[in-house]
């Protein structure tokens, strides 16, 4: 990385030595996982570039935007509505929570048996290695699972600008009202931060930009129904991960470009896996950058991942915000409506998610489902049992995995996954 970037990181208060180590590990991991794939679509070069610049050019862009008066807001969850952020000419970035860092330090603040995702957020802050956390003007924590909401009490003491958003846990009229109240409160907070009054025209524009991003992802998802698969699950996951931090308009154009290429591949029956390769649907906890362990094991064991029922995937992107109405109230209602459909496991009961996993397995012609939970994640571990029961009653083979970000269990996971793939492949 150039001297310019090094001084940028220094100005942000990063620990340069720790940061160098993180980038080196990230770069090597990326090479091992992505660059060893064969016949990748050419359009992936853009996403490779974005990832290579995740701590470089993209951070510089954000800092340039800030210098021009634009605000940056960081988030950990798909319940933070990007439409509202965009409407105020601010930028929303997802904060990486996909790798262990500074674990010893983290465990001075959090119990050891906290999920890796929450620990990762703390590790990136405590280890001083995340330029996004350091450049954010506001970080939004959402009261979803118990682990997150309790950890925000501590995180609020480590970052000066944490904004906590309450969220419903039930899909009732009261739950919807709570979400509406919280989104209105968030809109005011964003207006206060940016000095921009959000009117109907601004909200419409924000909705359009974010919907276009989602539509491009829907197009990509549809193309993954093809056999042979025109794109690997790893590459499709990467695109879903980049969704959270790239410039939205540029991202939308790049996804549409790769979709053009995939359509041409499909017309020629060209694939990255042989026709008839076992097809797997991944379901469960979100996989943030650089959490690629499980998909890498699956796809190097001969199966192709055809969809992700996850917040970094279809759970996060599947519905559009209907831009109906002409007033701020109408449009805010539309944003509430759209997000209230997200079927995160923090909701109880949560039958929509179980129905959605089954529906996706059918739509993407999956031969089996691998349910992935992070260790100590009560909502998804608990829900994996009814998910498995429902799928098995529909004769869809299911494998439940609990893991973390470490590599210690990779061998054991590989053995279990190979056996599962062999079983679904022989059906």
Stretch that binds ligand SF4, among 44-52, 71-79, 209-217, 259-267 (CB under 6 A): 71-79
In angstroms, give the least distance from the CB of 273 to ligand SF4.
28
Number of residues that bind ligand SF4 (CB under 6 A): 20
Shortest Å, Cβ 255 to ligand SF4: 20
Write down the least CB distance from residue 141 to ligand SF4, Å.
Answer: 11
Binders of ligand SF4 among residues 251 to 310 (CB under 6 A) are 285-286
* Cβ at position 205, least distance to ligand SF4 in Å: 25
Sign of CA dihedral 297, 298, 301, 304: negative
What gap in Å lies between CA 370 and CA 204, rounded to an integer? 38
Given 26, 77, 140, 190, the residue binding ligand SF4 (CB under 6 A): 77
Considering the complex, state which of residue 9 and residue 380 has its C-beta at the smaller distance from ligand SF4.
Answer: 380
- Is residue 122 a contact point for ligand SF4 (CB under 6 A)? no
Binding residue (CB under 6 A) for ligand SF4 from 55, 148, 338, 353 = 148
> Is residue 141 part of the contact set for ligand SF4 (CB under 6 A)?
no
Q: Which stretch binds ligand SF4 (CB under 6 A): 82-90, 114-122, 158-166, 247-255?
A: 114-122
Concatenate the DSSP letters of all residues of 282-316 into one string: EEES---TT--HHHHHHHTTT-EEEEEESTTTHHH
Interface residue with ligand SF4 among 193, 344, 396, 417 (CB under 6 A) is 344
Q: Decide: helix, strand or coil at residue 280.
A: strand
Check whether the bond before 388 is cis (ω within 30° of 0): no
Query: What is the residue-wise DSSP string for 190-207?
Result: HHHHH-----HHHHHHHH
- List C-alpha distances in Å: 409 to 179, 283, 294, 349, 369: 39, 19, 10, 32, 20
Q: How far is the CB of 332 from ligand SF4 (least distance, A)?
A: 19
Cβ contact 86:205 at 8 Å = yes
Is 147 among the residues that bind ligand SF4 (CB under 6 A)? yes
Q: Which of 91, 103, 120, 144 binds ligand SF4 (CB under 6 A)?
A: 144
Cα–Cα distance between 30 and 62 in angstroms, integer? 23
H/E run at residue 399? strand 398-403
Among 87, 230, 377, 413, binds ligand SF4 (CB under 6 A): 377
Binding characters for ligand SF4, 232-251, by CB under 6 A (x = yes)? --------------------
Backbone phi, then psi, for 374, in 5-degree steps? -75, 140
Q: Quick one: which segment of 51-59, 88-96, 142-150, 402-410 binds ligand SF4 (CB under 6 A)?
A: 142-150
Q: What is the Rg, in whole angstroms, of the alpha carbon atoms belonging to the chain? A: 21
Q: Which of 106, 379, 388, 413 binds ligand SF4 (CB under 6 A)?
A: 379
Q: Between 22 and 288, whose beta carbon lies closer to ligand SF4? A: 288
115, 266, 334, 401: which one binds ligand SF4 (CB under 6 A): 115
Which of 9, 30, 46, 79 contacts ligand SF4 by CB under 6 A? Answer: 79
Q: Rounded CA gap, 395 and 368, in Å?
A: 9
Of 352, 367, 391, 357, nearest to 305 by C-alpha is: 367
- Sheet containing 279-284: which strands, arranged edge to edge? 304-309, 279-284, 368-374, 398-403
Pick the stretch among 77-85, 123-131, 236-244, 273-281 that binds ligand SF4 (CB under 6 A). 77-85
312 within 8 A of 342, measured Cβ to Cβ? no
Is-contact 388 400, C-beta < 8 A? yes
Q: Is 380 in the site for ligand SF4 (CB under 6 A)?
A: yes
SS3 253: helix
CA-to-CA distance for 261 and 46, rounded, in angstroms? 13
Cα 345 from Cα 347, distance rounded (Å): 5
Min dist CB 145 to ligand SF4, Å, is 3
Q: Least distance in Å: CB of 372 to ligand SF4?
A: 10
Asked if 98 is part of the footprint of ligand SF4 (rule: CB under 6 A), the reply reads: no
357-376: contacts with ligand SF4 (CB under 6 A): 374
Is the C-alpha dihedral spanning 139, 140, 143, 146 positive or negative? negative
Member of 26, 88, 96, 117 binding ligand SF4 (CB under 6 A): 117
Token reading at 14: 């990063």
Residues 6+ apart with CB under 8 A from 376: 113, 114, 115, 147
Contacting ligand SF4 (CB under 6 A), which of 22, 78, 92, 361? 78
Closest to 199 (Cα-Cα) out of 317, 84, 314: 84
Task: Give the interface with ligand SF4 as residue ranges (CB under 6 A).
Answer: 77-79, 115, 117-118, 144-145, 147-148, 285-286, 311, 342, 344, 346, 374, 377, 379-380
């Amino acid at each position: 990385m150039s001297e310019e970037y090094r001084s940028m990181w220094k100005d942000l208060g990063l620990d340069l030595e720790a940061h160098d180590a993180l980038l080196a590990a990230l770069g090597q991991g990326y090479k091992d996982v992505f660059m060893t794939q064969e016949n990748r679509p050419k359009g992936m070069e853009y996403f490779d570039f974005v990832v290579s610049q995740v701590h470089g050019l993209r951070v510089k862009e954000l800092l340039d935007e800030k210098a021009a008066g634009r605000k940056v807001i960081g988030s950990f969850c798909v319940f933070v509505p990007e439409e509202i952020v965009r409407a105020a000419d601010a930028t929303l970035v997802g904060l990486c929570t996909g790798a262990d860092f500074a674990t010893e330090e983290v465990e001075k603040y959090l119990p050891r048996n906290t999920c890796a995702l929450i620990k990762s957020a703390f590790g990136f802050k405590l280890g001083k290695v995340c330029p996004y956390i350091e450049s954010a003007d506001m970080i939004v924590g959402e009261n979803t699972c118990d682990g997150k909401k309790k950890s925000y009490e501590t995180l609020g003491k480590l970052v000066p600008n944490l904004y906590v958003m309450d969220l419903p846990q039930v899909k009732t009229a009261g739950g919807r009202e709570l979400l509406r109240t919280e989104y209105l409160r968030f809109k005011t907070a964003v207006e206060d931060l940016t000095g921009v009054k959000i009117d109907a025209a601004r909200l419409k524009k924000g909705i359009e930009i974010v919907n276009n991003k989602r539509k491009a992802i829907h197009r990509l998802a549809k193309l993954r129904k093809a056999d042979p698969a025109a794109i690997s699950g790893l590459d499709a996951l990467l695109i879903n991960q980049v969704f959270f931090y790239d410039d939205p308009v540029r991202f939308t154009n790049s996804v549409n470009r790769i979709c053009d290429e995939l359509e041409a591949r499909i017309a020629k029956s060209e694939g990255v896996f042989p026709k008839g390769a076992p097809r797997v649907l991944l379901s469960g906890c979100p996989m943030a950058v650089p959490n690629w362990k499980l998909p890498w094991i699956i796809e190097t064991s001969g199966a192709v991942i055809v969809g992700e029922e996850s917040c970094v995937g279809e759970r996060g992107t599947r519905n559009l915000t209907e831009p109906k109405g002409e007033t701020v109230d109408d449009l805010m209602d539309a944003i509430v409506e759209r997000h209230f459909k997200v079927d995160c496991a923090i909701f109880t009961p949560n039958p929509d998610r179980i129905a959605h996993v089954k529906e996706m397995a059918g739509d993407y012609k999956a031969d089996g489902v691998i349910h992935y939970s992070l260790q100590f994640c009560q909502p998804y571990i608990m829900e994996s049992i009814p998910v498995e029961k429902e799928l098995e009653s529909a004769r869809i083979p299911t494998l439940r995995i609990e893991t973390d970000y470490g590599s210690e269990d990779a061998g054991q996971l590989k053995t279990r996954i190979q056996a599962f793939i062999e079983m679904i492949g022989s059906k």
